A and B are shown apart, each in its own frame.
Chain A
Amino acid sequence: MESLMPVNFSVEDAHAAADLDATVESPEVPKVEELDNWAQEAYSLDVSAATTRQRPWASR
């Protein structure tokens, strides 16, 4: 199964970012009462993992 990529933009922007044809139809947005999945996430990080690369992709 393909993984879902979190986004902060609209369906139209996602289609444009993926170079999809402009004729690709957008899905119908579900109604509030149809939102039937709930999730709560929390992540923690170990200092050793956080500091291994220090400035992960910093410029020289």
Chain B
Amino acid sequence: MFGTSRWKDVTKDKRTYRFGVALRAIIVVSDIKGGGSLTLPIVAAKVEIGDARATAQLLVRGYKGKLAGALPAWQTFGVDSYAQYMKSVSSIQQTILDDETNIQPELLATTVISSTLPSSGVSVGFVYGLHAIAEGSSLAHAVEKLPSSDAEVVTTVRAVYKAHIGEDERATPDPEQRQEAEEQLRGLHLTRGWFH
């Protein structure tokens, strides 16, 4: 992802609202072969030789002028298209940031939403814990395999086990408990075999 923005933060009743104009470009890459850093030129080169697939999303907020003629002609994300795409994005960026008469500041970000979300530690711990139960792992084994020592993650995993399995760290989930955890994951699945 890359982007540019021009903004001002406004605080009211202890909540912060970021208003402004912004351009965001998001490149989604899939089916990557090989290793290394995924910079955009490398993605373009990999697409060119068939070692990756890429799609792009361009988002402009807070600008009411016309941009249709400046939008990139999207075909594939090969090396030539990449150069053309970046040129178009740069042109749009200059237009929306310089053309003050057509800037109409919009909400770009806020703490109103973030204050209602659980922390990442709790979220990761909850999903990991449910997945470990669904896979039939005991709490002791799940904690041992946990790829993070973050206290909040560990505490959440323990809380999930306590709620679903009970106090015994060595107890393995029965089929019903595994099924229940599976259902709570609503089809989400960690593809790496963490518990084997």
A interacts with B = yes
Is the C-beta of B68 less than 8 angstroms from some C-beta in chain A?
A: no
CB of B1 within 8 A of CB of A41, answer yes
Q: Would you give the shortest CB distance from A19 to chain B, in whole angstroms? A: 7
Is the C-beta of B117 less than 8 angstroms from some C-beta in chain A?
A: yes
Of B18, B29, B40, which is within 8 A of A4 by CB? B18
Per-residue interface assignment for chain A, residues 34 to 56, with 1 indicating a CB less than 8 Å from any chain B CB and 0 otherwise = 11111111111111101111111
Neighbouring B residues of A50 by C-beta, 8 Å: 29, 32, 38
Neighbouring A residues of B40 by C-beta, 8 Å: 44
Known contacts A5-B114, A11-B17, A38 near B6 by CB under 8 Å: yes
Neighbouring A residues of B19 by C-beta, 8 Å: 29-30, 35
| Interface size in chain A (residues, C-beta < 8 A) | 51
Is the C-beta of B73 less than 8 angstroms from some C-beta in chain A?
A: no
Q: Which of B74-82, B105-113, B148-156, B168-176 contacts A (4 or more CB under 8 A)?
A: B105-113
Q: Chain A contact residues: over half helix, strand or loop, or mixed?
A: loop
Is the C-beta of B21 less than 8 angstroms from some C-beta in chain A?
A: yes
Number of A-B contacts (CB under 8 A): 143
CA distance A35 to B22 in the complex (A): 11
CB of A43 within 8 A of CB of B59, answer no
Q: In the complex, what residue of chain B is closest to A6 when comparing beta carbons?
A: B109
Mark out the residues of chain B between 72 and 107 whose CB falls within 8 Å of any chain A CB in the assembled complex. 97, 100, 103, 105-107
Per-residue interface assignment for chain B, residues 154 to 190, with 1 indicating a CB less than 8 Å from any chain A CB and 0 otherwise = 0000000000000000000000000000000001111
Q: Would you give the shortest CB distance from B112 to chain A, in whole angstroms? A: 5
Neighbouring B residues of A22 by C-beta, 8 Å: none
Q: Would you give the shortest CB distance from B30 to chain A, in whole angstroms? A: 9
Is the C-beta of B141 less than 8 angstroms from some C-beta in chain A?
A: no
Q: Would you give the shortest CB distance from A28 to chain B, in whole angstroms? A: 7
> 7 extra interchain contacts, Cβ-Cβ under 8 A, other than A32-B105, A45-B29?
A4-B109, A5-B111, A7-B113, A14-B112, A28-B10, A30-B10, A46-B38
Interface residues of A (CB under 8 A from B): 2-11, 14-15, 17-20, 24-25, 27-48, 50-60
9 pairs of residues in contact across A and B, judged by CB atoms under 8 Å:
A10-B106, A14-B110, A24-B13, A30-B105, A33-B100, A37-B7, A47-B35, A55-B191, A58-B189
